[in-house]
Amino acid sequence: MYFFLINLSILDIGSISVTVPKSMSNSLINTRSISYAGCITQVFFLIFFMGADLFLLTVMSYDRYISICQPLHYEKVMNRGACVQMAGGVWASSVLYATLHTGNTFAVSFCRGNKVDQFFCEIPQLLKLTCSDSNLTETGLLLFSVGLLLSCFVLIIMSYIQIISTVLRIPSEQGRHKAFSTCLPHLTVLSLLVCTGSFAYLKPLSSTISWLDLVVAVFYSVLPPVMNPIVYSMIKAALRKLTGWWLPTKN
């Protein structure tokens, strides 16, 4: 679990570094500009870190499933080599996914000005500037993304159905609390990322920016990487409280 949390921490640092520093810099020097290359870079890394977050959270649900439902096989199934391969697959898949999305977005012609109604370069807002009202390639890629999201969601749901079924059969109440305490942070950050990201990218495009668009953008691009360390730090405190693992005090 902690190996995957290290990877999640790296993703959180990268994710929040994509949008916040540039936005703060523009505010300090009182400008709203970003270069074309900078916009491409921002879109690529935002999609990369969001995709990696989703893939990694899916892998972490499988890790929780093996840990709780098959504890005697955990060391064999989730050995160091398997964990490294899973993490490597997450990073490689995210690079490919971000490359496809970014390449497709910037392959079209922009003819409706150069003003992006957002505090960072966001694909839905960039598509409003394209010459074509209907982009079949983008529609196909969007359907692929929805299918990928649903696949990850189904895998996570299946894992947690098995986890809940196993936890409810634990005779000790303390054991049930301990098992649920390791799963609750994972479900919290997953729900926050999936719900806000899906709303931002699947809702119909409007001609004008609304306060809701800005709030949702903050929720899926800034809030998850900020909240992840706080949420997951609750695991250790919860375990210590439930199991009595208090540090000895000096007399």
Tens-digit pLDDT profile for the chain (251 aa)? Answer: 778 888 888 888 888 888 888 888 877 887 778 888 888 898 899 889 988 988 998 998 898 889 888 888 888 889 989 999 999 999 999 999 999 888 888 877 777 667 777 778 877 777 777 776 555 666 677 778 778 888 888 888 888 888 888 888 877 777 677 666 667 777 777 777 777 777 666 666 555 566 777 777 777 777 777 777 776 666 555 555 555 544 444 44
Q: What is the dihedral of CA 163, 166, 168, 174, to 10 degrees?
A: -90
Structure token digits, residue 204? 């119909």
Provide the pLDDT for residue 245.
44
108: left (phi over 0), alpha (psi -120 to 50) or beta: beta
Q: Which amino acid is at 162?
A: Q
Distance between CA atoms of residues 221 and 223, nearest Å = 6
pTM summary value: 0.78
Distance between CA atoms of residues 190 and 197, nearest Å = 11
Distance between CA atoms of residues 250 and 228, nearest Å = 33
**Domains of the chain, with CATH numbers?**
2-243 (1.20.1070.10)
Structure token digits, residue 200? 């931002």
Distance between CA atoms of residues 32 and 25, nearest Å = 9
Residue 245 has what DSSP assignment?
Answer: -
Provide the pLDDT for residue 90.
93
